[in-house]
Structure 1
């Protein structure tokens, strides 16, 4: 089958997108590039670096398409369109830059030749000029050079002119094109998957591409379903989640790099039955969680993967009444799967165990057996809560405990709600404010200050009203004092001596005891009666904690100091921020890598979108997005590199304990 070869410049390609002569087939994922990536692309064109080729498909089939993310209405093409298979992110980015899109305000520093997205600082600095001002149609270079020379008089005007001219010339940079002709849609989908298998394209994107080819109209079905759940505050049931759910239902396991091959072999009947299961399962599961467990917003749920086996269970369950024990058993497993971090690592493998279990004759018993808690009574102890913070699944339990206890907001007097808006929108509040603890003589650590036992759920208005006041002050506010009953519903001890920062550690111990009792009672409330009374199953991470502290510098390598503690051990090590960020980016492309931690090279393992790194006593796992959020949080709390303590390299020689990245403080 013929493959045409051609070259076209940037300006011509951008014009063809505007005139709808270049379209995106449905198999393409959405536009995902960030402004930083757009800036790097423009810089590569400016410096003459290779920017890759483009792959197109020419056909008379008129396949289903999705809009290019350029933010404007497109006219019907006057000629036969080309369907873009590889190069969407680059061409969409260039179209945005050359058309002054609000999310592609790339600027150029004429002195340093740096590129970045527009900011408040660059707007005020005359050395920075918007790229669009140079590449737009009809731009006159001479006035621009004069203006820039006034801004940087030390810079030779000829050099400024040369740089401006080189930037304007990116419109003429040519891209090599390969155009596939006469290929059928299903074969094009396979080519798309193969072309992108070595790129930073997630398995969910590849699965969606394959589903779109095997089952035309898939994207439209997923988008419509996602919109309906978003209206009900379950916005995390998005296209990616629904793709995972459909794939898991059809294949009986989680996503992996071989999923697209199995999906190609699936029959239309299997795909239709799988989608019916997903829709029916969600329509039974979400009301059960929302009404019985009071989970009114999907952003409360620590692991959305834990929904997948339950979707299969309820989607394929016979149409008959559900008894109380079965309903409770489903919620019981869901709670335990979350607090035991069932899918924090090896999610694909564990879904391969749990989805088939959900199809057994006694699915809840089978699922609990997979968790290893079929007969055990689960009890949360105060020790389980030591070192837990907002990333921990116990944070989820603390909200549910307060919700079930009828906790009210400390300003509006209404019951706390995860769907409240405006001033009543729910926030977590430091009962003892950070400001009074950070420089206290008690030397409270960051983990202690942000401990779960110091967090309560109140409205944004109440949080701002309290601000940095001590509980010894705002608990007894003359205008609106908090009663013993109001504090008890939030499991806050009423003892007056615990309201002072000097007694903060005693406060944590007292509140952990109250929270642990409430969490145990909540879990026990859903424990099916048919479960045997047996020994209490302990949390394997009880008393374990991992704390990161970033020490940053603009002139030297930033370092992360990691401190791990647990029953009978303590370990401190260090790792480079840049190395860890590079490893996360490599993982996003599906690549394993290595990283140096405390002078020892350790392997980094990637499975689907999960990244696992051995850090001292722990085997730390989580999604790539969770790792990024962890680093973003640390950057917001970074200390100067000059304050970084010396860390003696100490390899860990014992088998590491699995530890979720969301538990890192």
Structure 2
């Protein structure tokens, strides 16, 4: 089967996608590039750097398509269209630049020859010019040279002219193209998967969706309509990616993995139909259960969405009979227990491969609890909450117990709600202000300051009104009843920063007791009552500290605490960022931690980094979020006391990176 090779100029590519002569098959993912990536592409074309080739498919069929993320209405094609298989991000980005799309307002610095997205600063700086103003058809180069020279008299007109001519030549840049002709849709999908599995790989969910699109045309529209249904009801995290995972789980009986697309190809139409019916039916039973019986009104409250997958199968395939209260409570008990035990923080595919089949048995909740290792009620102790922050699943429980206790906002006296908007939108507030604790002689650690026992749920307006005031000052304006509803101790001695650690201990006890009571309320009657805590991460704390080194690599210090002691180790912050970037392409790596080279693994879309007593695990967005947070809170390298390199010899615990502080 022939593969034609040709070239097209950038300007022609832009015109063809506008005329719908270039279209996106349904197997394509959505447009995901950020303005920074668009700026880098324009800069590459400006400097003549290689910018890759494009892969198209030409067919007489009429495959399902998706709309390109471009502005303006697309025209009807006058010729048989080409379907873009590889290069969507680049072609769409160029169309956006050439048509002055607001999210591709790339500007060029006539002095430094740098590119970036337009900002308030560049708008005021006379050296910057919008790339679109140079590329638009009516642009007058001589007039632009004159205006730029007038604004930048220190730059010679000839130099300005040369740089603008170089910029204006971008439309003539030629992309190498390969066009597949007469390949069937299923084979094109396999090519798409292989192409996008090399270099910067697609996620397994993207590959599964591509396979489903070829195997079951029209599935993307089904997923998008279902996602909109739940977004309108506060569960926007039930998006196309999540629904793809749910459908794959219902059809294959386990989580997503590298082999999922091959198994999906072999699925029959009946299996796909039944799987989709299971997902839709399961969600329509599960979400109201979470909203009405548990108080989880919005999906943004949930620490993990993966934990919903076995329950979707359980409820979606359940016989059409009344759901009794005991079974409903048992389902929510497993949901809470699996959430706080971080059931899917590692080996997600393997564990879903255990839990989805368990959800299909005659006694599903009992089997699910067996998989979780829960043989009795779940008790939460104060030590389980020590060192936990906003990333911990216990933070979710702290909201639930405060809401159940009748906690109200400290400004409008309205019950706390994730649905509040504007100035009433829910935020978490440091009860003892950070500024006071950071400068206190007791030298409270970052983990102590951000401990969830120091956080209360109030509106943004109330948060700003309180600002940096001490509890000694603002507690009297609230009254003991308001404090008690938020599970805050009313002992006046605990309102001073001198007694902050005693405050944390007292509030942890209140929170832990309330959380245990919540779990007990949902505990199945056939489980024995809660005893002492068995959380494997009880007493485990991980803190990161970023040290800015102006003369070399920045350093990231990891401080890990367990019941057996404290471990300290450093690593290159740049090397860790490189590991995260490599993981984007599904590539394992190595990282020197505490002077020792440590293997880093990418598994089930999770990055696992062994750090002292922990195997720290999380999705790539979670890792990036933590690194960005630490960079923003960096300290000078002079403040770092370099610990001695220390090898960890004991067993390592799975620790979610999002729970690190």
Q: Is the 8 A contact 2:453 2:504 kept in 1?
A: yes
Change (3 A) 1:97 1:309: same
Write the deviation string for residues 617-658 of structure 1: whole angstroms up to 9, x where unpaired.
110001111111111221222223343332332222323211
Q: Is the 8 A contact 2:380 2:532 kept in 1?
A: no
Q: Gaps spanning 5+ residues in structure 1: where?
A: none
Q: Give the Å deviation of 1:584.
A: 1.2
CA RMSD in angstroms comes to: 1.5
* 1:626 maps to 2:627: no
CA–CA separation in structure 2 for the residues paired with 1:601 and 1:534: 43
| 3-state SS of 1:594 partner | strand
Determine the structure 2 residue equivalent to 1:523: 519
Determine the structure 2 residue equivalent to 1:353: 354
Matches within 5 A, 1:173-212: 173-198=173-198, 199-212=200-213
Write the deviation string for residues 45-103 of structure 1: whole angstroms up to 9, x where unpaired.
11211111111111121111111101221111111111111100000011111111100
Matches within 5 A, 1:285-324: 285-324=286-325
CA–CA separation in structure 2 for the residues paired with 1:649 and 1:9: 56
Determine the structure 1 residue equivalent to 2:649: 653
Determine the structure 2 residue equivalent to 1:88: 88
Q: Give the Å deviation of 1:554.
A: 5.4
Q: Give the Å deviation of 1:152.
A: 4.4
* 1:572 maps to 2:573: no
* 1:582 maps to 2:583: no
| 3-state SS of 1:620 partner | strand
Write the deviation string for residues 467-488 of structure 1: whole angstroms up to 9, x where unpaired.
1111111111xxxx22222211
Instruction: Give the alignment partner of residue 557 of structure 1, picking from 543, 553, 557.
Output: 553
Q: Give the Å deviation of 1:608.
A: 2.9
Give the number of aligned pairs.
Answer: 660
* 1:26 maps to 2:26: yes
CA–CA separation in structure 2 for the residues paired with 1:631 and 1:432: 25
Q: Is the 8 A contact 2:520 2:530 kept in 1?
A: no
| 3-state SS of 2:160 partner | helix
| 3-state SS of 1:377 partner | coil
CA–CA separation in structure 1 for the residues paired with 2:89 and 2:637: 36
Q: Is the 8 A contact 1:376 1:536 kept in 2?
A: no
Determine the structure 2 residue equivalent to 1:493: 489
* 1:71 maps to 2:71: yes
Q: Is the 8 A contact 1:377 1:536 kept in 2?
A: no
Q: Give the Å deviation of 1:142.
A: 2.7
CA–CA separation in structure 2 for the residues paired with 1:348 and 1:442: 45
| 3-state SS of 2:568 partner | strand
Determine the structure 1 residue equivalent to 2:10: 10
Between 1:525-534 and 1:204-213, the stretch displaced more is 525-534
Q: Gaps spanning 5+ residues in structure 2: where?
A: none
* 1:599 maps to 2:595: yes
* 1:58 maps to 2:58: yes
CA–CA separation in structure 1 for the residues paired with 2:525 and 2:407: 28
CA–CA separation in structure 2 for the residues paired with 1:536 and 1:320: 37
Between 1:458-467 and 1:79-88, the stretch displaced more is 458-467
Determine the structure 2 residue equivalent to 1:262: 263
CA–CA separation in structure 2 for the residues paired with 1:534 and 1:491: 21
Change (3 A) 1:123 1:534: closer
CA–CA separation in structure 2 for the residues paired with 1:247 and 1:646: 48
Determine the structure 2 residue equivalent to 1:253: 254
| 3-state SS of 1:408 partner | coil
The normalised TM-score by structure 1 is 0.97
CA–CA separation in structure 2 for the residues paired with 1:129 and 1:554: 31
CA–CA separation in structure 2 for the residues paired with 1:80 and 1:138: 30
Matches within 5 A, 1:234-633: 234-373=235-374, 375-476=375-476, 481-533=477-529, 536-553=532-549, 556-633=552-629
CA–CA separation in structure 1 for the residues paired with 2:640 and 2:217: 56
Matches within 5 A, 1:112-123: 112-123=112-123
* 1:46 maps to 2:42: no
The normalised TM-score by structure 2 is 0.97
CA–CA separation in structure 2 for the residues paired with 1:269 and 1:193: 24
| 3-state SS of 1:585 partner | helix
Q: Is the 8 A contact 1:278 1:315 kept in 2?
A: yes
Q: Give the Å deviation of 1:110.
A: 2.4
